[in-house]
Amino acid sequence: MKRRNFIQTAGLGAGALMMPSLLMGNNISAEALLTPGLDVAAKKVLADVALNSARSMGATYADARIGRYLNQYVFTREDKVQNVVNTESFGIGIRVIANGTWGFASTNDVSPDGIKKATGQAVAIAKANSKIQKVPVVLAPVKSHGEVSWKTPIKKDFKDVPVREKVDLLLSANSAAMENGANFVNSALFMVNEQKYFASTDGSYIDQDVHRIWPTIGVTAIDRSAGKFKSRQGLSAPMGLGYEYMDGLDSEKIAGPKGTGLIGYRNSYDIIEDATLAAKQAKEMLTAKSVDAGKYDLVLDPNHLGLTIHESVGHPLELDRVLGYEANYAGTSFATLDKWKSGNFKYGSDIVNLVADKTYPGSLGAVGYDDEGVKTKQWDLVRNGVLKNYQAIRDQVHMIDQNESHGCCYSQSWNDVQFQRMPNVSLEPGKDKYSVDDMIKDVEKGIYIAGRGSYSIDQQRYNFQFGGTVFYEIKDGKIVGMLDDVAYQSNTQEFWNSCTKICDESDYRIFGSFFDGKGQPSQVSAVSHGSSTTRFNDVNVINTGRSI
Amino acid sequence: MAIYTKEEARQIMEKALSYSTADACEVNLGGSESGNIRYARNTVSTAGHRSNQNLVVQSNYGNKYATATIDEFDDESLKKVVKRSEELAKISPENPEFMGILGPQSYDESVTHIDATANISPEYRAEVANSSIEPAAAKDVTAAGFMNDSAGFSAMMNTKGLFAYNKSTDISFTVTMRSNDGTGSGWVTRDFNDVSKFNAAKASQIAIDKAIMSREAKAIEPGKYTVILEPAASIGLLGRIGGALNARTADEGRSFMSKEGGGTKLGEKIVDERVNIWSDPLHKDVPTATWNGEGMPLKKTSWIENGAVKNLAYGRFWAKEKGVDAVPFPPNVIMEGGDASLEDLIKSTKKGILVTRLWYIRGVDPQTLLFTGLTRDGTFYIENGKIKHPVKNFRFNESPIIMLNNLETLGQQVRIDGSLIPYMKVRDFTFTSLSDAV
């Protein structure tokens, strides 16, 4: 992984190099994206080949996922199109339990013979590993859903929108940034369509059509004489929406705090407006005041807080981490079973309510059924500040004395085995009417932070350090100017217990992570985090400026 | 079978090119077979096998180009994929930075393929897991590990006569050992082209020993400390210097390598003069392919020599703009070491911290190459030449440039993640806070 860092980061500038290679499928034409895949009846026949072969080879459980993954990525810089990538990846992944042990194999040969061969490999792996398996796999029961389907309720399929229109939109945004003083600008559109068919020996046949979109823009301003450069990233969110997200509807905009010019985007993003502001702010950042280290009250915009929720709540409450299954990679968790069992572990202050869900419209995590055929739902993780539950799937949930999977199993492709992944994890808005400007008014010495920045957290999710995109100093109830060199360091439990105020529902927005990594071999998944602007008192802020 | 010989690959690619009617056409053919095993809680969790092959065809008309890909190689499929790439190229936007394809090149013979690694079985993987799990369980320790092995080939050919082929194998292994009282953790990583160099039991024992040694760590104040960085710790920071080697971003004024007032730091001394870093595809311990995806030959290249920036990487377009030769990005990293063993480095340290690895490293400021992250899986306090006791993990905020300016001693080199990195002792390494994480 580290060598790849050296080699890949050496290629910075060509955005495509930074993409997880596993998301890359076969390159196809934009028109070919519109070709329908196999029909449901054909997929059922092929899936049954896997299920029947697995049974005849001695498997006690099997599931098959036939996946067609269509991606379109567009990359531009200034007035140039760097790349337009259309990819298709098609194949089948077969997971079995034999001798009480998991086995998995996948193939892009989706013929009956290819499927039988891969099933044989999966069973052989399960049998080889069963010799050293200590505890047999136990699956929570799941209802047979019969033949069902689910679709992301999109308004505009990205595949129907001509590439030219997408290129023109990005180039217009780039040009708006350049006209407003940017030296460089990179922008990109990531669009994903997962066409997934799931079948299992439990009797479910589930066809799903899932859409996601993420526009990005990075605007750089340079002061050559001082040898300084600053970048202001766009304030979009990755979303579980169609191309309608790019419409820039005024009705979906929320004004940021007075004095910042910032705009929050709900279900519609105005990339040209954001690019214009980004260029002005990047220039302003070149001369922004370097922060004085110390304790501040932090006012965190949803577009920033999303990642903080992701790292300090989402990951530590993944049951596989808690139990040690991720010990060798992402790590374990401070939120151990004894804390949960006590029934009174104060994760946060009384106003902190954190909810897991796989159903919120427009979110990245929303699907009808997870990747092992469990119907999705919403459940509490933290209620009134107290730890209530984890995120668990079929083969784990019995370990926390529950008998129903939470429905958050996911695989990034047919080529990878499915496992527990983070659902959307969101902070409920405050119940009383309270706006961002009300919040700023109540802060004496604070910093307002919007956008994602540098983020780092330890392997048990205690100690974290987060940066942001833009920082504003708050003095005596007013925004007084931009700050630079800001990062805050805290401890998860201490941080959430310092949460003193949450804006109401009218400020609520979702943010998210399009390429969240976990597992070995590493897989990405996409997940959203909703919140309203939130205040945390007395947080330690460090100054990250250095002179070399 | 997804692994083609040189001749098989040549025949498929020649056939594909014979269907080309574009100004130029280039094809890349690749395939791999890989297997993995994952274990945790002293038992196997998941394991899998993957097989992949594909042919990428790039056609261009002037500077309009496009690619199309296929995973079937019969005549009809080859004809179809070439035609599709041509149709796409015709409707693609002009790319003024498209450099066209290269003519014939001469490449060194690589040393990256070992039969024994290509023949690893599910039973071998299960045995690797077991050789971690059994000794761990015997010591009241819990193992969580992952092993992945792969064998693959890549080849390319174009209508200007370029042909390249490479076959390679690889095995990588990591294991985390945690003491069952939850207070100690150790970790080890190994990677090789040749599986016969890999000893899972021996590697696992190092992690077990560290798990036991690191139990009940004491908290000491964060601040600036002399550190001994194991190669697994320093590579995380050293690798990130690579991001700044891009000549284009340096010329554009948006990189650490950009110079105040314009220009780049090429030729300038930026770190201690004992620092020498280069890449070499033919190094016997860390071999790589001898050509890159564009077909450019990869040769031994010096990046930092006696502490000064010796080369920046130039893509073909930027090289043309600047009137210099293109310099491909490094395929591996080799940093010159010294004679000192880890024991020697500890013995010569009056007061310091031994760091096994750094974790969750993220950029804080690209201007100064400042990064943050944490120590993990074995952090120890050294006093008067001896390890005194384990210490709680630290968060650091440090730049690899400052780190290499504060170099005290270079130790022996170790292969890590496909690169060759020495143990090193560094003064004034900046730890900014404590972490309770084990």
CATH number of the domain bearing residue A277: 3.30.2290.10
Closest CB to A9: pick one of B40, B243, B397. B243
Closest CB to B437: pick one of A102, A184, A462. A462
Does residue A140 carry a pLDDT above 50?
Answer: yes
Residue A335 to residue A332: CA distance in whole angstroms: 9
- Do A118 and A255 share a domain, yes or no? yes
Determine, for residues B259 and A227 on separate chains, whether the beta-carbon distance falls below 8 Å: yes
Classify residue B421 by burial, with Cβ atoms within 10 Å: 0-12, 13-18, 19+: buried
Closest CB to B235: pick one of A2, A545, A548. A2
Residue A450 to residue A461: CA distance in whole angstroms: 22
Determine, for residues B142 and A327 on separate chains, whether the beta-carbon distance falls below 8 Å: yes
Q: Which segment of A391-400, A483-492, B65-74 scores lowest on mean pLDDT?
A: B65-74
- Do A255 and A340 share a domain, yes or no? no
A139-158 average pLDDT score: 97
Q: What single DSSP character describes residue A291?
A: P
For residue A17, the model assigns a pLDDT of 29
- Give residue A23's pLDDT band: very low, low, confident or very high (50, 70, 90): very low
Helix, coil or strand: residue A381? strand
- For chain B positions 391-410, those within 8 Å of chain A (CB to CB) are 393, 395, 397, 399, 401-402
- Does residue B210 sit at the A interface (CB-CB below 8 Å)? no
A146-163 average pLDDT score: 96
- Do A276 and A330 share a domain, yes or no? no
> Do B131 and B200 form a contact (C-beta atoms < 8 A)?
yes
- For chain B positions 236-265, those within 8 Å of chain A (CB to CB) are 236, 238-243, 245-246, 248-249, 252-254, 256, 258-262
Classify residue A141 by burial, with Cβ atoms within 10 Å: 0-12, 13-18, 19+: exposed
For B315-363, how does the pLDDT look when each residue is reduced to its tens digit (9 = 90+)?
999 999 999 999 999 999 999 999 999 999 999 999 999 999 999 999 9
Tell me the two tokens of residue A98: 């034999």
Q: Which segment of A211-225, A233-247, B51-65, B147-161 scores lowest on mean pLDDT?
A: B51-65
Give the list of residues 6+ apart from residue A382 with CB closer than 8 angstroms, or none.
Answer: A313, A347, A348, A352, A353, A354, A388, A496
Distances (CA, A) of A142 to A137, A201, B9: 15, 11, 48
Q: Which residue of A has its CA nearest to B436?
A: A462
Shortest distance, CA A153 to any CA of chain B (angstroms): 30
For residue A27, the model assigns a pLDDT of 61
Among B51, B280, B285, B404, which would you mutate to test the A interface (most chain A Cβ atoms within 10 Å of its Cβ)? B51
- Do A281 and A293 share a domain, yes or no? no
Residue B236 to residue B226: CA distance in whole angstroms: 18
For residue A13, the model assigns a pLDDT of 26
Residue A162 to residue B135: CA distance in whole angstroms: 60
Kindly state the helix (H) or strand (E) to which residue A3 belongs, with its residue range: helix A2-9
Shortest distance, CA B97 to any CA of chain A (angstroms): 8
- Do A53 and A164 share a domain, yes or no? yes
- Give residue A16's pLDDT band: very low, low, confident or very high (50, 70, 90): very low
Tell me the two tokens of residue A221: 């301003």
- Do A306 and A449 share a domain, yes or no? yes
For residue A4, the model assigns a pLDDT of 33
Q: What sign does the dihedral A530-A466-A188-A410 (CA atoms) show?
A: negative
Spell out which residues of chain B touch residue A108, defining contact as CB-CB under 8 Å: 51-52, 71
ipTM for the complex? 0.91
- Do A201 and A299 share a domain, yes or no? no
Domain assignment present for residue A485? The answer is: yes
CATH 3.30.2290.10 segments of chain B: 6-210
Determine, for residues A81 and B93 on separate chains, whether the beta-carbon distance falls below 8 Å: yes
Determine, for residues B260 and A226 on separate chains, whether the beta-carbon distance falls below 8 Å: yes
Q: Which segment of A143-157, A217-231, A478-492, B91-105 scores lowest on mean pLDDT?
A: B91-105
Q: Which residue of B has its CA nearest to A9?
A: B243
For residue B70, the model assigns a pLDDT of 83
Q: Which segment of A33-42, B36-45, B253-262, B374-383 scores lowest on mean pLDDT?
A: A33-42
Determine, for residues A328 and B436 on separate chains, whether the beta-carbon distance falls below 8 Å: no
Does residue A6 carry a pLDDT above 90?
Answer: no
Residue A546 to residue A174: CA distance in whole angstroms: 31
Q: Which residue of B has its CA nearest to A3?
A: B417
Q: Which segment of A453-457, B7-11, B38-42, B44-48 scores lowest on mean pLDDT?
A: B44-48
For residue A30, the model assigns a pLDDT of 64
Spell out which residues of chain B touch residue A68, defining contact as CB-CB under 8 Å: none
- Does residue B353 sit at the A interface (CB-CB below 8 Å)? no
Spell out which residues of chain B touch residue A521, defining contact as CB-CB under 8 Å: 36, 148
Spell out which residues of chain B touch residue A104, defining contact as CB-CB under 8 Å: 46-49
For A422-441, how does the pLDDT look when each residue is reduced to its tens digit (9 = 90+)?
999 999 999 999 999 999 99
Q: Which of A244, A263, A285 is the last residue of a domain?
A: A285
> Do B357 and B376 form a contact (C-beta atoms < 8 A)?
yes
- For chain B positions 370-389, those within 8 Å of chain A (CB to CB) are 370, 372-374, 376
Determine, for residues A456 and B145 on separate chains, whether the beta-carbon distance falls below 8 Å: no
Domain assignment present for residue A227? The answer is: yes
For residue B147, the model assigns a pLDDT of 97
- Do A98 and A198 share a domain, yes or no? yes
Domain assignment present for residue A1? The answer is: no
For residue A473, the model assigns a pLDDT of 98
Does residue A20 carry a pLDDT above 90?
Answer: no
B262-281 average pLDDT score: 97
For residue A5, the model assigns a pLDDT of 34
A226-240 average pLDDT score: 96
CATH of range B6-210; options 3.90.1150.10, 3.30.70.20, 3.40.470.10, 3.30.2290.10: 3.30.2290.10
Does residue A537 carry a pLDDT above 50?
Answer: yes
Q: How many domains does chain A have?
A: 2
Helix, coil or strand: residue B254? coil
Closest CB to A454: pick one of B36, B47, B364. B364
Determine, for residues A129 and B37 on separate chains, whether the beta-carbon distance falls below 8 Å: yes
Determine, for residues A13 and B332 on separate chains, whether the beta-carbon distance falls below 8 Å: no
Percent helix, strand, coil in chain B (nearest 5)? 25, 40, 35
- Does residue B131 sit at the A interface (CB-CB below 8 Å)? no
Determine, for residues B359 and A459 on separate chains, whether the beta-carbon distance falls below 8 Å: yes
φ, ψ (nearest 5 deg) of residue B196:
-65, -15
For residue A455, the model assigns a pLDDT of 94
- For chain B positions 147-166, those within 8 Å of chain A (CB to CB) are 148
For B173-213, how does the pLDDT look when each residue is reduced to its tens digit (9 = 90+)?
999 999 999 999 999 999 999 999 999 999 999 999 999 99
Angle between helices A112-130 and B122-138 (to 10 degrees): 30
B117-141 average pLDDT score: 95
Q: What single DSSP character describes residue B332?
A: S
- Do A186 and A102 share a domain, yes or no? yes
Does residue A1 carry a pLDDT above 90?
Answer: no
Does residue B60 carry a pLDDT above 50?
Answer: yes
Distances (CA, A) of B154 to B11, B164, B184: 14, 8, 43
> Do A203 and A146 form a contact (C-beta atoms < 8 A)?
yes
Domain assignment present for residue A155? The answer is: yes
Q: Which of A267, A285, A303 is the last residue of a domain?
A: A285
Tell me the two tokens of residue B4: 């083609």
Closest CB to B399: pick one of A132, A467, A548. A548
Among A328, A394, A415, which would you mutate to test the B interface (most chain B Cβ atoms within 10 Å of its Cβ)? A328
- Does residue B211 sit at the A interface (CB-CB below 8 Å)? no
Q: Does a cis peptide bond (omega within 30 degrees of 0) precede residue A521? A: yes
- Do A519 and A436 share a domain, yes or no? yes
Domain assignment present for residue A3? The answer is: no
Closest CB to B374: pick one of A229, A458, A547. A458
Shortest distance, CA B169 to any CA of chain A (angstroms): 16
Give the list of residues 6+ apart from residue B407 with CB closer than 8 angstroms, or none.
Answer: B271, B272, B274, B275, B424, B425, B426
For B411-426, how does the pLDDT look when each residue is reduced to its tens digit (9 = 90+)?
999 999 999 999 999 9
> Do A512 and A235 form a contact (C-beta atoms < 8 A)?
no
Tell me which residue range forms the domain holding A274. Answer: 15-285
Closest CB to B239: pick one of A5, A26, A121. A5
Among A456, A462, A544, which would you mutate to test the B interface (most chain B Cβ atoms within 10 Å of its Cβ)? A456
Distances (CA, A) of B8 to B13, B31, B73, B154: 9, 12, 11, 12
- Does residue B28 sit at the A interface (CB-CB below 8 Å)? no
Give the list of residues 6+ apart from residue B5 with CB closer than 8 angstroms, or none.
Answer: none
Mean pLDDT of chain A: 93
- Does residue B88 sit at the A interface (CB-CB below 8 Å)? yes
Domain assignment present for residue A51? The answer is: yes
Give the list of residues 6+ apart from residue A156 with CB closer than 8 angstroms, or none.
Answer: A242, A243, A244
Determine, for residues B330 and A2 on separate chains, whether the beta-carbon distance falls below 8 Å: no
- Does residue B1 sit at the A interface (CB-CB below 8 Å)? no
Closest CB to B331: pick one of A7, A124, A456. A7
**Does the reported pTM lie above 0.90?**
yes
Closest CB to A26: pick one of B69, B95, B175. B69
Shortest distance, CA B143 to any CA of chain A (angstroms): 8
Residue B221 to residue B257: CA distance in whole angstroms: 34
- Do A160 and A279 share a domain, yes or no? yes
- Do A263 and A330 share a domain, yes or no? no
CB atoms inside a 10 Å sphere around CB B100: 15
A150-174 average pLDDT score: 96
Specify which residues B431 forms β-bridges with. Answer: B396
Spell out which residues of chain B touch residue A26, defining contact as CB-CB under 8 Å: 54, 69-71
Q: Which residue of B has its CA nearest to A163?
A: B92
For residue B46, the model assigns a pLDDT of 85
Shortest distance, CA B63 to any CA of chain A (angstroms): 12
Among A6, A117, A416, A546, which would you mutate to test the B interface (most chain B Cβ atoms within 10 Å of its Cβ)? A6
φ, ψ (nearest 5 deg) of residue B82:
-65, -45
Mean pLDDT of chain B: 95
Tokens 């001749």 correspond to B7
Shortest distance, CA A146 to any CA of chain B (angstroms): 28
Classify residue A442 by burial, with Cβ atoms within 10 Å: 0-12, 13-18, 19+: middle
Spell out which residues of chain A touch residue B416, defining contact as CB-CB under 8 Å: 2
> Do A46 and A114 form a contact (C-beta atoms < 8 A)?
no
